[in-house]
Amino acid sequence: MVQTVENHKTINLLRKQDLQNNCHIPEMKNGQVCPVCGSRETSDIIEQVTKKPPIWFTMHQCNRCCCWYMASPPNQDAIKAYYAGDYYFFNRDIDFEFSRNHQLYKRTVRLIEDQVPVKRVLEIGCSKGFLLAILSKIGWQVEGVEISSEASSFARSTFNLPVFTGEIEKYEELYPALKYPLILALDVMEHVPDPFAFIKAISRLLTKDGLLIIDTPNGKSDAINSKRGLWKGFNPFHIHVFSKDGIQLLLSKNELTIHSIYEYSYDPFASERGNLELQIRSLFKIVLQKIGLFSPVYKYYKQMTLRKEPIKDPLLRIVNLIESERAFPPVFPSECLREHGDNMVVICKKE
């Protein structure tokens, strides 16, 4: 652990020196306040420099609720600029995205779909609409909300999905009469500047006994202690990283209760592969990183992948997989479950 932390400090120092004239380094504010519980007591501080985009950011951990929050978060204009066309999440291979969203479906909607009598769902932060496209094909009435105009336009034009461009708070303000038995906030809550306003809008849009599913980085992950700022949950797009206690606090003030929580660690590149292969791939990655060859090997791998003939209908392939899986009871993928893992799925119910 000491060596990892020292390596992290060295990497940060070199990056800061290299990016000093080009990256935004926010001024630290005195008396930081946790946006979740209001405490001014900090138990830990982690600083990190990224290359793309070149941003210096600082994360504080609240001593009371254990949530992490960015010391000087970006304003709304900067947030929208982050999610422009070059945002890495929006530039992944289509086949890969359908496979990734298949796994996302299995650890979220699949677990509760038998409990939702009316198959109607709203996904917040729906990106380019891959999950909604899957859900639509298997019988759900779908709608989406997405802050990125490029991503929401792709969802509308490619999959003919009804996707609203903007924040959920604005959507709820414009359409207060709309109610949903299921709302999804997957890989999105860590991005929002005001988590209370976010959850409040969701609560208003849920039907009585409606369900909310959150999938978000886990602020109590064991990996934070060893990886520090190199932990994948810390990046300039993540304004908050929540603990279970923090999530509970946000929900309880908005008529929502926790139904179940799953902590997990997941490698999206291991989609539809066995646990043994996952371990082999992880070991191979570690070896390449140690000898300094991971970047060129991965770049070559991506080039070769792009040369492959794309799957003719990746959506149909995923739908067929789901139909075959429905013969078995829904369970959280056991190969991903990890106590104090990197992420958590929180299933909530409207009181």
Q: In this predicted model, what pLDDT tens digit does every residue of 148-200 receive, in sequence order? A: 999 999 999 999 999 999 999 999 999 999 999 999 999 999 999 999 999 99
22 has pLDDT over 80: no
Burial (CB count <10 Å: 0-12, 13-18, 19+), residue 187:
middle
List Cα–Cα distances, 13 to 23, 47, 49, 50, 177, in angstroms: 13, 10, 9, 11, 52
200 in a domain, yes or no?
A: yes
pLDDT of residue 349: 97
Instruction: Identify whether residues 119 and 179 lie together within a single domain.
Output: yes
CA dist 196 and 56 (Å) reads: 26
Picking from 16-30, 269-283, 298-312, which range would have the lowest pLDDT averaged per residue? Answer: 16-30
Instruction: Identify whether residues 67 and 171 lie together within a single domain.
Output: no
270 has pLDDT over 60: no
pLDDT of residue 250: 96
CA dist 26 and 341 (Å) reads: 30
Most distant pair of Cα atoms in the chain: their distance = 58
Q: What band does 94 get if pLDDT is binned at 50, 70 and 90? A: confident
Mean pLDDT for all residues in the chain: 83
CA dist 289 and 102 (Å) reads: 29
Which H or E element spans position 123?
strand 120-124
Q: What are phi and psi of 62, to 5 degrees?
A: -70, 135
pLDDT of residue 123: 98
Q: What band does 72 get if pLDDT is binned at 50, 70 and 90? A: confident
Decide if 265 contacts 336 (C-beta within 8 A): yes
pLDDT of residue 236: 82
Q: List pLDDT tens digits, range 208-236.
A: 999 999 999 999 999 999 899 889 899 88
Q: Where are the alpha helices (DSSP H) in 115-194?
A: 130-137, 149-159, 168-174
Q: Where are the alpha helices (DSSP H) in 23-126?
A: 76-82, 94-106, 109-112
Instruction: Identify whether residues 61 and 116 lie together within a single domain.
Output: no
Instruction: Identify whether residues 71 and 184 lie together within a single domain.
Output: no
pLDDT of residue 4: 43
Q: Where are the alpha helices (DSSP H) in the chain?
A: 2-19, 76-82, 94-106, 109-112, 130-137, 149-159, 168-174, 195-205, 223-227, 244-252, 275-290, 294-307, 314-325
pLDDT of residue 18: 46
Q: Which two tokens stand for residue 176?
A: 């207060």
315 has pLDDT over 90: yes
Q: List pLDDT tens digits, range 233-252.
A: 998 889 999 999 999 999 99
Choose one of 24, 43, 75: the last residue of a domain. 75
Count of structural domains, the chain: 2
Instruction: Identify whether residues 123 and 235 lie together within a single domain.
Output: yes
Q: List pLDDT tens digits, range 318-338.
A: 999 999 999 999 999 887 888
CA dist 120 and 116 (Å) reads: 8
Instruction: Identify whether residues 228 and 346 lie together within a single domain.
Output: yes
238 in a domain, yes or no?
A: yes
Mean pLDDT in residue range 292-306 = 71
Decide if 121 contacts 112 (C-beta within 8 A): no
Instruction: Identify whether residues 59 and 204 lie together within a single domain.
Output: no
Q: Which two tokens stand for residue 35?
A: 């946006």
Q: What are phi and psi of 197, to 5 degrees?
A: -65, -35
The parent domain of residue 244 ranges over 88-271+327-350
Picking from 28-32, 98-102, 167-171, 286-290, which range would have the lowest pLDDT averaged per residue? Answer: 28-32
23 has pLDDT over 50: no
Q: Which two tokens stand for residue 123?
A: 């996904």
pLDDT of residue 83: 64
Instruction: Identify whether residues 237 and 175 lie together within a single domain.
Output: yes
312 in a domain, yes or no?
A: no
304 has pLDDT over 70: no
SS3 272: coil
Beta strands 180-186; 206-217: pairing state: parallel
Beta partners for residue 256, in sequence order? 350
Q: List pLDDT tens digits, range 274-285.
A: 445 556 766 777
84 has pLDDT over 70: no
pLDDT of residue 10: 46
Q: Which two tokens stand for residue 29?
A: 């504010």
Instruction: Identify whether residues 71 and 95 lie together within a single domain.
Output: no
176 in a domain, yes or no?
A: yes
Q: What band does 5 get if pLDDT is binned at 50, 70 and 90? A: very low
Instruction: Identify whether residues 220 and 173 lie together within a single domain.
Output: yes
Q: Which amino acid is at 228?
A: R
Please tell me the pTM assigned to this model: 0.80
Beta partners for residue 60, in sequence order? 45, 69
Q: What band does 86 get if pLDDT is binned at 50, 70 and 90? A: low
pLDDT of residue 290: 81
Choose one of 52, 75, 98: the last residue of a domain. 75
Picking from 100-104, 146-150, 269-273, which range would have the lowest pLDDT averaged per residue? Answer: 269-273
First to last CA, the chain: 44
Q: List pLDDT tens digits, range 106-159.
A: 999 999 999 999 999 999 999 999 999 999 999 999 999 999 999 999 999 999
List Cα–Cα distances, 23 to 43, 71, 151, in angstroms: 27, 16, 26
Instruction: Identify whether residues 65 and 96 lie together within a single domain.
Output: no
